[in-house]
Amino acid sequence: MKVKPNPVLAAEFEALISAGKHNENKLQAFIERHTAFLPTPSLLNHQLHLQSLISKFPIGDRKTDFAYLTKSSDRWKLVLVELESPAKPLFKVSSHSANSAEFNDAVAQIVTWKEHWNELRADVERRLKPLLVPPSMAGNTISVEFQMVIGRAAEKKHDDARRRRLATIHESGIHIMTWDTLLDNYRAGRGEPKAVLTVNTSGFRLKSVERLPELTFAYVRPQHLKLSKEAEAALRADGYAIDAWKKGQLLEVNGKWPMGNMDEAIEEMVNDSMKRVLASVGKRMTAKRR
């Protein structure tokens, strides 16, 4: 579900990435509110799992800025996203392709994440378990990849050597993106909104629903997922049977209603279909009058 670019938001984001150092927290907060600005390029064929980002996902005593899951029929992929300052240079000024010290430090942090994953994999998989749905796929292998957002695009424009260096790093499992890539992607109309999850003691909390989840409530039970007031209000307004879900009924019909509400679900789907048909007929009649 792509969104139409908002020029005001694009300008706000551009101002943030041009503001200099020490603004990573502001950019994190901006992306949480406007999730279409963060691309998710490392997807498998089932696309973004549960249409959700996980904010501040922990591995041991460290936290990634974002994480997301994607799956195919026989495997899962966990992508850990690190946000680095737009002001950090990628390359040395004196060299076409030598990494800057700041960029090397950022890549070293990713290497540390890899070490944490290898050491704490069982704990991470246990934490993710409520989201590894449907249950028939929960035991599939999980691999990890990394996505880093850092620096500005001007450093690699018209420089093949620098682009090749970044491509080599990408082949090692680290997808490097500049902040301009995020802005260009959004302005081109390729941005997709997402829901945002955070981790809590019982599992996860649905923090926001800029994109309404499609199958989350058909699989994830209330003991593993809490709802923020804002998320719950948005779900109720869209017709999700949240009271039934809170009582333990999975919302298996269209991802919004329990099986006991099949008649109501069919009636709502029929009504929606009739509304679309009537609207189409109305447009044709109006066109004929003209």
Q: Mind listing the pLDDT tens digit of every residue in the chain (290 residues)?
A: 788 999 999 999 999 999 877 678 899 999 999 999 999 998 999 999 999 999 999 988 889 999 999 999 999 999 999 999 999 988 887 766 688 889 889 988 888 888 989 999 999 999 999 999 999 999 999 999 999 999 988 877 767 887 887 888 777 778 999 999 999 999 999 999 999 999 998 899 999 999 998 899 999 999 999 999 999 999 999 999 999 999 999 999 999 999 875 555 555 555 555 656 667 666 666 666 55
Q: Please state, in angstroms and rounded to a whole number, the distance separating the CA atoms of residues 285 and 290.
A: 9
Q: Please state, in angstroms and rounded to a whole number, the distance separating the CA atoms of residues 19 and 135.
A: 46
Evaluate whether 155 touches 228 at the Cβ level (below 8 Å): no
The residue with tokens 């609207």 is: 279
Q: Please state, in angstroms and rounded to a whole number, the distance separating the CA atoms of residues 161 and 167.
A: 10
Evaluate whether 179 touches 113 at the Cβ level (below 8 Å): no
Q: Which tokens hold the place of 266?
A: 């069919």
Show Cβ contacts of residue 107 under 8 Å, excluding neighbours closer than 6 positions. 99, 148, 169, 174
Q: Which tokens hold the place of 97?
A: 């392709």
Q: Which tokens hold the place of 165?
A: 């260096």
Preceding omega of 134 cis (within 30 degrees of 0):
yes
pTM: 0.86
Show Cβ contacts of residue 118 under 8 Å, excluding neighbours closer than 6 positions. none
